[in-house]
Amino acid sequence: MADKHILSLEVPTVANCEILSINDTSQYTELLPVDCPELLITTPGFNSPALISVTQNFNLNITACDLGLQTVDCANKNAALPDGVYVIKYSVSPNDKVYVEYNHLRVSKILTLYFKILCDIDLKTCPPDYDQRELVSKMYYLRTLIDAAIARVEYCSSPNQGMDIYNYALKELQKISCLYSNC
């Protein structure tokens, strides 16, 4: 049995633009108490984190109200959370020594746009014509860019480079979207 807590979180990509899902996947030792758990989340564009109350083995769906991004009508409607880099830190006592911190690239909005475009493309089970094949190839490339942006932020510790890739992919997807919605 381990003689210390091994903290970890899972932050899955969700299609719901109104929530940020975070699950505690930590391994806790029975030899130590789990005191003063803190979940701190810094949203894109902010410098100060929101403090979220948690207990051991939590599974949360965090909203804009929880993060202080929305302050009115929280009981009736949740505002969409922005895509971008979220800094997520989870700790237990002593909080300055027992913690884990992640950069998470939220991609719910861009994936919603990506899937909407796939719905708009008139794909059939027969081979596509040249123009459609080019569009499908570009969509495949843009999905790879989205995955590359996530990798840069979450695995390569390069959040600025990840956001550059994300922004380029978003701009290109918006151009394609305009082909179907007459922007």
Q: Where are the domains of the chain?
A: 9-106, 109-181
Architecture of domain 9-106 in this structure? Sandwich (2.60)
pLDDT at 159: 97
**Taking the CB of residue 175, how many other CB atoms lie within 10 A of it?**
11
Element spanning 161, H or E: helix 159-181
Tell me how far the alpha carbon of residue 38 is from its chain's centroid. Answer: 20
The residues of the chain scoring below 50 in pLDDT are none
> In this predicted structure, what is the pLDDT of residue 83?
98
Question: pLDDT tens-digit profile of 25-40?
Answer: 999 999 999 999 999 9
Query: What does the buried/exposed string (b/e) look like for 39-77 if buried means 16 or more CB atoms within 10 Å of the residue's CB?
Result: bbbbbeeeeebeebebeeebebebbbbbbebbeeeeeee
pLDDT at position 1, please?
61
